[in-house]
Chains A and B, each alone.
Chain A
């Protein structure tokens, strides 16, 4: 369980995180979603005490992370795949981290095995690809067999196999009752991995909901695309129903909102109107996210 209350962080004049509050629950995968500069990484750094909050608090399992008697067993964090000295071997890097907590070398061996790095464990990290660096970061996060995992963009640079592996690993860890938080700007990845999403935009929480609800929720209503040679007549007919909105798309097509495809089909059939298309449009998480963060983007394309 990670709890943030009124958490804010300013770097100089720039506000990276602005009075956010949220709870990240165990037993599920929570996704931090947001464009670059939305405050995802900063929030994660605040969770493990790398940066000091300007205001507010964030606790892990009810206490400050720094107060844990065994931080690595409390939280496993991947905050920057480059958080490794390039001149050190993967094994030495992990051994150095493990030593702080008296974690034995065979656990180092185990996480190397688990992340598929055994073959390159003795090689200098400087020569690693981005994907191997990510695997090493994940290996480090797993070292203490932590109850909570905080992973910043863990699939960045991974090949498809690696992406699938991370997804399965995270779902498995959440299934064991652990708290799993990952950030991503890849909506598709989030849709396949997370149970719950917290959307950040310009340092604020824009949405905080179970993923299904997040994707389904909203008052916009299902949209149906309709094509008919007699579009105008059908449109006039549908407009008589309450709460229906239509967006014309040329002369022979429109988008209907507030009415189901079945209802439109029934109405058309009753009046003998010929239909060429009747397709419900399903928005993706991506659409939901884009709609939410429009205007929240830190760096808008001109």
Chain B
């Protein structure tokens, strides 16, 4: 259908009239010709994450709360090392356990906070509409997700390192003789394992959030995986199904415990029994399993991120 109308063009208001002088813009201060680079996208993601007050605040509270908890644990447990009716002997294994408990005990709780960080890093773009600006600047998309994952993982790693080192420092402050075990395989591997676990749980949450594009959904899923599933498993254990303990050992929270326990020194007796060990899952297996969790979330997330409409 074609409709037609008559109109007098000369009466269209002020089409060319008004003749406002165009401002003579100076040559734009571009420096060299702009070009989209991965380094640039990485820099952009760093600016984005560091310029949000909510993220800075979350991290600050995480560190303060984590170290506060570590201090309390150090206060309580430092009295349980050595002595007549103490829980741990003041030998190498006991001191290693003490150091690990103080510096990594909070990890399971903090994993939810790290998960929320991973979720926020993604969903803050979607809830605000920023994703439209982001993807207009980087229409290839995949570099955005990769850069964002790297920056988020880096922030998680730095935060986790601060927490673990802070925990170790507090542990030594409350029980100076434990300092001698600082360089032991158990303590080093337990500390690094905790950092790895927290970074990987952040990336797991990051992947889930990218697929769901919703803060509430992302937080719900990551809370479910880290807190609800282990409890559900515990309840189901009552059934006596044989495969359950094996499956439970592969849950992120159990993998986290295994990683936090570190690699027991061959020279010293095994440390405290850890849930994951019941199913015979070792440190390295746990690390690989945790990497698989993160990858299993990130790969479909990347495919969807590339293919879907922006928002």
A residues with a Cβ closer than 8 A to B are 11, 45, 48-52, 65-66, 68-73, 75, 77, 79-80, 82-89, 92-93, 95-97, 99-104, 106-107, 109-110, 114, 140, 144-145, 164, 167-169, 171-172, 175, 188, 191-192, 211-213, 215-223, 280, 282-285, 287-288, 291-292, 294-295
When the two chains form their complex, are residues A211 and B15 in contact, meaning their CB atoms are under 8 A apart?
A: yes
Instruction: Enumerate chain A residues within 8 angstroms of B86, measured Cβ to Cβ.
Output: none
Among the 9-residue stretches B25-33, B69-77, B106-114, B201-209, the one with 4 or more Cβ atoms under 8 Å from chain A is B25-33
When the two chains form their complex, are residues B47 and A52 in contact, meaning their CB atoms are under 8 A apart?
A: no
Which 5 pairs from chain A and chain B are nearest by CB?
A: A218-B4, A172-B22, A283-B7, A282-B8, A92-B51
Question: In the bound complex, how far is the Cα of B134 from the Cα of A101, in angstroms?
Answer: 12
Among the 9-residue stretches B35-43, B155-163, B168-176, the one with 4 or more Cβ atoms under 8 Å from chain A is B35-43
When the two chains form their complex, are residues B128 and A220 in contact, meaning their CB atoms are under 8 A apart?
A: no
Instruction: Enumerate chain A residues within 8 angstroms of B216, measured Cβ to Cβ.
Output: none
Q: Which of A101, A191, A223 contacts B12 (CB 8 A)?
A: A191
List 20 A-B pairs, Cβ < 8 Å: A50-B136, A50-B311, A65-B139, A71-B36, A71-B138, A72-B137, A75-B136, A83-B128, A87-B124, A92-B47, A100-B36, A140-B133, A192-B18, A211-B9, A215-B12, A216-B6, A217-B5, A218-B4, A283-B7, A288-B5
Residue of B nearest to A291 (CB): B5
Residue of A nearest to B143 (CB): A100
When the two chains form their complex, are residues A51 and B309 in contact, meaning their CB atoms are under 8 A apart?
A: yes
B57: min CB distance to chain A, Å: 10
When the two chains form their complex, are residues A284 and B7 in contact, meaning their CB atoms are under 8 A apart?
A: yes
When the two chains form their complex, are residues B128 and A86 in contact, meaning their CB atoms are under 8 A apart?
A: yes
Q: Which of B14, B23, B35 contacts A102 (CB 8 A)?
A: B35
* Residue among A102, A221, A284, A288 facing the most chain B CB atoms (10 A cut-off): A102
Whether B48 is near chain A, meaning CB under 8 Å from some CB there, is yes
Q: Which of A50, A175, A188 contacts B22 (CB 8 A)?
A: A175
When the two chains form their complex, are residues B9 and A216 in contact, meaning their CB atoms are under 8 A apart?
A: yes
Residue of A nearest to B28 (CB): A145
Residue of A nearest to B7 (CB): A283
Instruction: Enumerate chain A residues within 8 angstroms of B8, measured Cβ to Cβ.
Output: 215-216, 222, 280, 282-283
Question: In the bound complex, how far is the Cα of B31 from the Cα of A233, in angstroms?
Answer: 76
Instruction: Enumerate chain B residues within 8 angstroms of A101, measured Cβ to Cβ.
Output: 34-37, 40, 137
Residue of B nearest to A222 (CB): B6
With contacts A87-B52, A287-B5 known, is A107 near B29, CB below 8 A? yes
When the two chains form their complex, are residues A45 and B310 in contact, meaning their CB atoms are under 8 A apart?
A: yes
B residues with a Cβ closer than 8 A to A are 1, 3-15, 18, 20, 22-23, 25, 28-37, 40-41, 43-45, 47-48, 51-54, 124-125, 128-141, 307, 309-311
Given contact pairs A70-B34, A71-B137, A167-B20, enumerate 20 new A-B contacts (beta carbons under 8 Å): A50-B136, A66-B139, A79-B132, A88-B52, A92-B51, A100-B40, A100-B41, A100-B44, A102-B35, A104-B30, A164-B20, A171-B20, A191-B12, A213-B9, A218-B6, A219-B6, A220-B5, A283-B8, A288-B7, A295-B1
Q: Which of B13, B132, B138 contacts A188 (CB 8 A)?
A: B13
When the two chains form their complex, are residues A104 and B4 in contact, meaning their CB atoms are under 8 A apart?
A: no
Instruction: Enumerate chain A residues within 8 angstroms of B25, measured Cβ to Cβ.
Output: 114, 172
* Residue among A99, A188, A192 facing the most chain B CB atoms (10 A cut-off): A99
With contacts A92-B47, A223-B6, A283-B5 known, is A100 near B309, CB below 8 A? no
When the two chains form their complex, are residues A171 and B22 in contact, meaning their CB atoms are under 8 A apart?
A: yes
B213: min CB distance to chain A, Å: 14
With contacts A102-B34, A215-B7, A217-B4 known, is A285 near B44, CB below 8 A? no
Instruction: Enumerate chain B residues within 8 angstroms of A110, measured Cβ to Cβ.
Output: 28-29
Q: Which of B40, B124, B128 contacts A82 (CB 8 A)?
A: B128
B136: min CB distance to chain A, Å: 5
A46: min CB distance to chain B, Å: 10
When the two chains form their complex, are residues B6 and A221 in contact, meaning their CB atoms are under 8 A apart?
A: yes
When the two chains form their complex, are residues A83 and B132 in contact, meaning their CB atoms are under 8 A apart?
A: yes
With contacts A71-B136, A107-B29 known, is A50 near B7, CB below 8 A? no
Instruction: Enumerate chain B residues within 8 angstroms of A79, measured Cβ to Cβ.
Output: 132, 136
B43: min CB distance to chain A, Å: 4
With contacts A96-B47, A96-B51, A215-B12 known, is A48 near B140, CB below 8 A? no
A224: min CB distance to chain B, Å: 11
Question: In the bound complex, how far is the Cα of B125 from the Cα of A86, in angstroms?
Answer: 10
A123: min CB distance to chain B, Å: 12
Question: In the bound complex, how far is the Cα of B208 from the Cα of A71, in angstroms?
Answer: 29
B26: min CB distance to chain A, Å: 8
A115: min CB distance to chain B, Å: 12
When the two chains form their complex, are residues B15 and A191 in contact, meaning their CB atoms are under 8 A apart?
A: yes
Question: In the bound complex, how far is the Cα of B31 from the Cα of A75, in angstroms?
Answer: 18
Question: In the bound complex, how far is the Cα of B77 from the Cα of A120, in angstroms?
Answer: 52
Instruction: Enumerate chain A residues within 8 angstroms of B36, measured Cβ to Cβ.
Output: 68-72, 100-101
Residue of A nearest to B41 (CB): A100
When the two chains form their complex, are residues A96 and B128 in contact, meaning their CB atoms are under 8 A apart?
A: no
Question: In the bound complex, how far is the Cα of B45 from the Cα of A77, in angstroms?
Answer: 20
Instruction: Enumerate chain B residues within 8 angstroms of A52, measured Cβ to Cβ.
Output: 307, 309
Question: In the bound complex, how far is the Cα of B131 from the Cα of A48, in angstroms?
Answer: 13
When the two chains form their complex, are residues B31 and A99 in contact, meaning their CB atoms are under 8 A apart?
A: no
A202: min CB distance to chain B, Å: 12
When the two chains form their complex, are residues B53 and A87 in contact, meaning their CB atoms are under 8 A apart?
A: yes
Instruction: Enumerate chain B residues within 8 angstroms of A75, measured Cβ to Cβ.
Output: 136
